[in-house]
Every structure is written in C-alpha cells, then in structure tokens.
Amino acid sequence: MTWTDEELVARSIGGDADSFNQLILRWERPIYALAYRQIGREEDARDVCQETFLRAYRALGGFRGQAKFSSWLYRIALNLCRDWVRRERRTPTVQAPEDVDLLDLAATREPSESIEDLVARKDLTRIVERAMKRLPEEQRTAIILKEYHGLTFQEIADLVGCPLSTVKTRLYQGLTVLRRELAHTRGASLT
C-alpha cells in the first residue's frame, strides 16, 4: 500500500521511523535538484538536501498540514539555499558534475544525435545557465520551481509567500530576460 505524504507524516509523528525514511526516498531527488539549481555545486547541494530533511524531521511535530508536505519541504530547502548564498557571498554557479565526461556522454547517446547536435545542446545549456545566474534571486527561483519542478503558480506563491500576480510577473520577466539573452547570443554567433 502506498501512503500519502500526510499519512507518512502522521505515522512519523507517531514514532514510525520507517515512514520518515519513505518520505526521504520520495523527496530526496526533487529537493537535491532544487538545491543544485539554486546553488550550482554538487557537494553543497547534497549538504543542503541533507540539512533539509534533518530540519524537517526535527520540526515534524510542528507540521500542521495547512500546506502540502512537499511545499513545506521546498520552503525549508529554499531557505537553506538562500542562507548558503548569503553565507558564501557569491552568485550561484552551475558546473557540470565532476564524473561526467563529454566524450563518454557522446558515446552513450542515441546514434540519431550527432556530435554537432550534442555540442550545440551543451552550448545552449551553458548560455541558459549563464543567463540564469544574472537573474535576481526571486526570478530565478520562480523559473526553477515552475519550469524544472512543475509547481503551479499558486503553489509557488504559497511557497515563497507572495501574491500570485507577483509570481507570474517574476516568471514572465525572468523568461523575457532569458529569451533576450538567447537571441542576443545566437545573433552574436551568426556574425
């Protein structure tokens, strides 16, 4: 039987340690992905992910179910990411994982993707990452939560504690900057 997040939380509060482990297994990858996209460094993203679950476990008794468990967990992770960025006093950087080799990656691709296509896709990824770094934190967060994690506008508004219209504005403005940067970069490479 598959339990809902809220049922697992209730069981965890009741003393069932395995229920919280199930929550970790369910949410570890999305929380790590969020941290990695916010911070851009594997090791630090793992630390933030681990700290997120540690804080969630400690505060589990205070979870009232007014929001979804996932939203509560995302909020903890986002706050930890903000703290990390402030503490490090640097803008997030996105780097390729250390264990990824471009040639190995190219060899494992479907034969339908040429090396030129792979390089072009990698270049596009770098351009998007560079443009994302330039965005204000609020716009970057809105884009990451909407485009990478699939949250609704209302879920993002609840999560970051701002009006729905503000989330839509941040997303629109951030995507406009990304499109402009992409068009500018492509135009520069054609000349």
pTM above 0.75, yes or no: no
Q: State yes or no: pLDDT of 2 exceeds 60.
A: yes
In tens, the pLDDT along 118-169 reads 676 677 777 777 788 888 888 888 988 888 888 888 888 888 888 989 999 9
For residue 104, CA distances in Å to 75, 94, 100 come to 36, 20, 8
Q: What is the pLDDT of residue 135?
A: 85
For the domain made up of 1-95, the CATH class stated in words is mainly alpha
In tens, the pLDDT along 63-86 reads 887 788 988 999 999 999 988 888
What dotted CATH number matches 99-191? Answer: 1.10.10.10
- Every domain of the chain and the residues it spans: 1-95, 99-191
Structure tokens at 77: 């992770």
Contact residues for 157 (Cβ-Cβ < 8 A; gap 6+): 163, 164, 166, 167
Q: DSSP for 26-87, please give it.
A: HHHHHHHHHHHHHH--HHHHHHHHHHHHHHHHHTGGG--SSS-HHHHHHHHHHHHHHHHHHH
